[in-house]
């Protein structure tokens, strides 16, 4: 399917959104929803949408996912909206995915994370511009802000986890997502964000109520020395369990004295769960 994008001019056979809605026999807002959730390919022109005849024919000939049993690629739909900088459309995709049965955890792990990975890979090979990548990050931050409260759990927490990206790593999104996932597991989380110096980790761990562990993240290659230095300082000054994770972890970081080194969100959650269980049993 052709993606919903922006271009300078439309072909003579392109339809307006109102014309497309009339052709489909649906209300204008229904057609708008098809576009904003990625089901109907469209092009943004000025202040309105244009739908090509080919895109309309493809939409009309395709059975609905529910009727056909087809698995909807929510990640691709979301990635399209993220690179377009379309916050409202991106949120529509997330709402539609949850209406289909996905939990907020699944939205993070199976929709948002793969979308961001695909955008990052596209940027690396020049298929996604730096402007599109920045737009996607900005929209993602706002989506996380809207989804975050759904991970809060009532009642007493299992203790506190401090988590942050090391100095030199400018990626705050993976930390924010990990923090929400950990809150969903019943932990209180102190999120230090990106580019956190050793002093920030030490101060946060020192002041944490019922500290369980500290998570050190690296999504940037070349900062292994900072990972090791942060882990060593925490071990020497705090003496707490340490979990290291992130796609930027390289071989050198494995020399750090950590209780776990993880490369996926599920492994990270399991590592903190295990540390918390061990602490509760001792």
92-145: per-residue pLDDT in tens? 999 988 888 889 999 999 999 999 999 999 999 999 999 999 999 999 999 999
Query: Closest by alpha carbon to 120, among 109, 132, 110?
Result: 132
pTM of the model as a whole? 0.76
Look-up of token digits 């609905």: 64
Pick the residue with more confidence: 48 or 139?
A: 139
3-state helix, strand, coil in the chain (%, to 5): 55, 15, 30
C-alpha 250/C-alpha 246 separation (Å) is 9
* DSSP state for residue 40 in the 8-state scheme: S
C-alpha 6/C-alpha 166 separation (Å) is 37
| Domain span(s) for CATH 1.10.1240.10 in the chain | 5-148
Predicted confidence band of residue 64 (pLDDT cuts 50, 70, 90):
low
In the chain, which residue ranges form alpha helices assigned H by DSSP? Answer: 17-24, 28-36, 53-61, 65-68, 74-83, 87-99, 104-106, 113-124, 130-147, 173-184, 198-207, 224-237, 265-281
Query: What is the bridge-based pairing of β-strands 48-51 and 43-45?
Result: antiparallel
* 277 pLDDT above the threshold of 50: yes
C-alpha 91/C-alpha 85 separation (Å) is 11
Q: What is the CATH number of domain 5-148?
A: 1.10.1240.10
Q: 197: which residues sit within 8 A by CB, 6+ positions away?
A: 167
| Domain span(s) for CATH 3.40.50.280 in the chain | 153-281
User: For the chain, what percent of residues have pLDDT higher than 90?
Assistant: 58
* 54 pLDDT above the threshold of 50: yes
Predicted local confidence at residue 1, as pLDDT: 40
CA neighbours closer than 13 Å in the CB half-sphere of residue 217: 28
Q: What is the CATH number of domain 153-281?
A: 3.40.50.280
């Amino acid at each position: 399917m052709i993606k919903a994008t922006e271009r300078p001019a439309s072909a003579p056979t392109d339809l307006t959104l109102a014309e497309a809605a009339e052709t489909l026999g649906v209300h204008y807002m229904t057609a708008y929803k098809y576009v904003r959730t990625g089901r109907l390919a469209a092009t943004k022109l000025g202040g309105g949408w244009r739908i090509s005849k080919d895109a309309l024919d493809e939409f009309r000939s395709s059975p609905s996912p529910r009727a056909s049993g087809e698995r909807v690629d929510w990640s691709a739909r979301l990635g399209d909206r993220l690179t377009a900088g379309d916050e409202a459309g991106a949120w529509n995709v997330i709402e539609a995915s949850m209406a289909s049965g996905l939990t907020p955890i699944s939205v993070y792990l199976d929709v948002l994370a793969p979308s961001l990975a695909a955008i990052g890979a596209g940027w690396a090979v020049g298929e996604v511009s730096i402007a599109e990548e920045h737009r996607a990050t900005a929209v993602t931050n706002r989506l996380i802000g809207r989804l975050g409260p759904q991970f809060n759990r009532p009642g007493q927490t299992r203790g506190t986890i401090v988590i942050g990206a090391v100095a030199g790593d400018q990626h705050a999104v993976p930390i924010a997502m990990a923090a929400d996932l950990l809150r969903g597991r019943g932990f209180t989380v102190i999120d230090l964000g990106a580019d956190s110096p050793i002093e920030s980790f030490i101060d946060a761990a020192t002041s944490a109520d019922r500290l369980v562990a500290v998570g050190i993240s690296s999504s940037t290659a070349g900062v292994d020395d900072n990972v090791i230095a942060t882990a060593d300082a925490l071990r020497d000054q705090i003496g707490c369990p340490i979990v290291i994770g992130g796609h930027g972890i390289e071989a050198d970081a494995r020399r750090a004295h950590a209780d776990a080194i993880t490369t996926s969100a599920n492994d990270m959650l399991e590592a903190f769960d295990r540390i918390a269980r061990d602490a509760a049993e001792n």
